[in-house]
Amino acid sequence: MTDSESLLVAAAQIGTNADLAQNLTKIETRIREAADRGVQVLLFHEGCLTGYPDAERAEQLDFAAVEAAESSIQQWAGELAIAVLVGTTGQREGQIYNDLLIIDNDGRRLGRYAKTWRAGEPWYGAGSGPAIFNVCGVEATAIICHDLRYPELTRLGVAAGARIVFIANNESGLTAEFKLLGYRSMQISRATENLAWAVMANAPADAEDMHRSNSSHGNSMIVDLWGDVLDEATSFEERLVVARLDLNKSTGDPARRTLGEGGGAELYGTGCEHPEYAEWIREGLKLVQRLDGEG
């Protein structure tokens, strides 16, 4: 936990594309802006650094250049004492992954969360499931875009101790209007169903090309544990979405209740009422990987 029991966090809503160098420049600008504003943890959207490649471009990615760009981000994080979570594309053992690279505020790489549930995209490898990490002294978990539709990923992360859920998105655009309410609802649900803070970064829409790849519908947001949106970008703007989180309020009680560890008596008058369900959740905790910079 941080010394002040609070954390200033931000989601960067920026437009990126397939140009790695251009994307890196925009990322650096927002990291420096966030650091100047006292932000302690900064989240970027899915595929922010590399673009969100299709099958053809995935084969053409220069992973040496991607690694160099990631190292630059790591250097800035350490120099500016700001934790950075950035969507990128990783390669391990000949397979590529839709990754969220997690860098702590001392510039140390905590690891990569690979998107667990792909939305098709057979060129990506499937991720390994829920993850937890300690960033700026706070336990947190992360999911990527389509993972939102599998709420147990977040539930298990919170049951394992996370008090913040970082959500890196690059969703369908404004032309998929029928999806927009569902997207918004899921961001809010992951917070309130777990009594945990939620920080979501999404790519903005492109007013000049509503069908451009690597663009979405914006609406990056920070949600409190009761579902109130503390700050939210509009669809087209590029800016930092910022809020201060009171860490004492994020109890994770519903998740802890399902473990049979209390976490419900004050709110609901009882603890765990279903031991069999609690056993199922405890078995699920075995799937949670800790990202701690080792290996």
Backbone φ and ψ of 84, nearest 5°: -130, 130
% of the chain at pLDDT higher than 70: 95
**CA pair distance 11, 30, nearest whole angstrom:** 10
Instruction: Place 57 in a pLDDT band, splitting at 50, 70 and 90.
Output: confident
Looking at 24-28, 73-77, 221-225, 265-269, which range is the least confident one? Answer: 265-269
pLDDT in tens, 165-187: 999 999 999 999 999 999 999 99
Cα 135 to the center of its chain, rounded Å: 12
In the DSSP assignment, the letter for residue 218 is -
Mean pLDDT of 62-66: 96
Q: Which pLDDT belongs to residue 3?
A: 47
Side-chain-side CA neighbours of residue 192 (13 Å): 11
Q: Quick one: CATH architecture of 6-251? A: 4-Layer Sandwich (3.60)
| Average pLDDT score, the chain | 93
Least confident piece of the model among 68-82, 107-121, 250-264: 250-264
Judge whether residue 254 has pLDDT over 70: yes
What is the C-alpha to C-alpha distance for residues 223 and 11, in angstroms, rounded to an integer? 11
Question: How many distinct helices (H) and strands (E) make up the chain?
Answer: 8, 13
pLDDT at 86 over 50: yes
In single-letter form, the type of residue at position 165 comes to: V
Q: Is the pLDDT of residue 268 over 80?
A: no
